[in-house]
Amino acid sequence: MPPALLSPGYFTAPVDQIDPVIAQAIAREKTRTRDVIELIASENILSRAVRDVQGSILTNKTVEGYPGKRYHAGAVNVDVVESAAIERACQLFGCRFANVQSHSGSQANHAVLHAVAEPGETILSMNLNAGGHLSHGASANFSSKWFNIVSYGVRAEDGLIDYDEVIALARKHKPKLVIAGGSAYPRALDFAAFRRAADAGGARLLVDMAHFAGLVAGGAHESPFPHADIVTTTTYKSLRGPRGAIILWNDEALRKRINNAVFPGLQGTPSLQIVAAKAVALGEALRPEFARYAQAVLSNARTLASCLRQHGFDLVGGGTDTPLMLVDLRAKGLTGAPAAQSLERAGIIANMNPIPSDTVDLKVMSGLRFGVSGATTRGLDGAHFDRIGALIAEVLEGLRQHPDDNRDVEDRVRAAVREIVAPFPTYG
Ligand SMILES: *Cc1c(COP(=O)(O)O)cnc(C)c1O
């Protein structure tokens, strides 16, 4: 017999029999996430169905193009999948067109830039320092190298967008595109004011609703339509789907331009198992439970925000209308990196974040960002978030008093955290 081409169990053995290094890391990740409160704003906990579909045999199929117009044969079943994802996205967000192939939020935004502007043309977007996103024209991102980026920030006094400034900048610079939305802006955006800005400059308006898309889907946040020409969102944050993004719009004149910008403009084959998982997640978001989930996310975010304020923390923008909030640590004499590390040792997982016009080193930063989408999926409610706010305050107060060794407080809080999450198992 010639030597085998495939290792034993190639088609049948689970990963723990094939690759102990990776299997063990996954097992440890299960334990880690079981015992902590996850407050990373971009994370969520997916349903079993959405997870399963990502490991389905659709991962083996490749196609190029769109349903009904593929370059590869054998696309009959994946056409059903992608068509369902498109239809559900349009139904959920009340628009006519959707592209569901972008591998990430950044790529979806790049596709929109590619669709509506030529290299060298002007884009008006929120500064990264003020809470914008890398893909909106940050200096390290390709978007700033290809386009002329003009940016707006937030007011120093209250951390809010100055819409008169946005409108004046649009009038002055005549951008091709105005971008609304960011990664660390906690308050509701005034979509009508952004529309006025776009109109003042003769621009199209893109709303990137990555963080609050789940709230829009569940009716807990105003929809960017009809004000926006184009809406992008990641699917994995409050929308609770797989890694990736979708692009939504209404104008027939943009249909070819956006679809061509995604493929063949920026991507080749889509990840069909991910497109399928997007379809399942969008189907879940159309159910009445999801509207209740969205309300709970907003209410939990507001509870945590007001609890932190009661404990004397400054919140950028004064609070939140979204799943996330941004704490300015300067008044407490703390910085982001050690605060996030101490919280992690106490079982509370969050990320350091710059605050608007941060002057502290980017490796340290002056802020902490908290989001409640994942912990709300896990089952935590307002009473829990009141308690969590108090525990965060306890850790940070301990750190202020004992910057070099906060172990006593961390150990005490870690035990309290375990007690809070123990009644809320996830996948079993
Ligand atoms: C998270 C996020 C993205 C995208 O991210 P990827 O990491 O590329 O998926 C884009 N825009 C905003 C506003 C975001 O918050």
Q: CATH no. for residue 187?
A: 3.40.640.10
Range of the domain at 107: 54-285
**Ligand 1 contact, 127 CB (< 6 A):** no
Q: Is residue 79 part of a domain?
A: yes
Cβ neighbours around 321 below 10 Å, total: 20
Out of 228, 255, 285, pick the residue that ends a domain.
285
Ligand 1 centre and the CA of 408: distance in Å? Answer: 37
pTM to 2 decimals? 0.97
Same domain, 226 and 307: no
Residuewise pLDDT in 10s, the chain (428 residues) = 889 999 999 999 999 999 999 999 999 999 999 999 999 999 999 999 999 999 999 999 999 999 999 989 999 999 999 999 999 999 999 999 999 999 999 999 999 999 999 999 999 999 988 889 999 999 899 999 999 999 999 999 999 999 999 999 999 999 999 999 999 999 999 999 999 999 999 999 999 999 999 999 999 999 999 999 999 999 999 999 999 999 999 999 999 999 999 999 999 999 999 999 999 999 999 999 999 999 999 999 999 999 999 999 999 999 999 999 999 999 999 999 999 999 999 999 999 999 998 888 888 999 999 999 999 999 999 999 999 999 999 999 999 999 999 999 999 999 999 999 999 999 97
Check whether residue 204 and residue 301 sit in a common domain. Answer: no
Residues 245 and 393 reside in one and the same domain: no
State the number of CA atoms in the 13 A half-sphere of 101 facing the CB: 28
With contact defined as beta carbons under 8 Å apart, do 366 and 335 qualify? yes
Non-local (6+) Cβ contacts of 421 within 8 A are: 34, 35, 36, 37, 378, 380
Tokens of 5: 């081409």
Q: Which atom of ligand 1 is the closest one to the Cα of 183?
A: 15
The burial of 168, by beta-carbon neighbours within 10 Å (0-12 exposed, 13-18 middle, 19 or more buried), is given as middle
Distance between Cα 12 and ligand 1 center (Å) = 36
In angstroms, what is the span from residue 64 Cα to ligand 1's centroid? 24
The CA-atom distances, in angstroms, between 162 and each of 157, 169, 189 are 11, 11, 11
- Distance of alpha carbon 206 from alpha carbon 195, whole angstroms: 10
DSSP helix/strand/coil, 126:
strand
232, 90: one domain: yes
Verify whether ligand 1 is closer than 6 Å to residue 104 (CB atom). yes
234 CB near ligand 1 (under 6 Å): yes
Compute, in angstroms, the gap from residue 105 CA to the centroid of ligand 1.
4
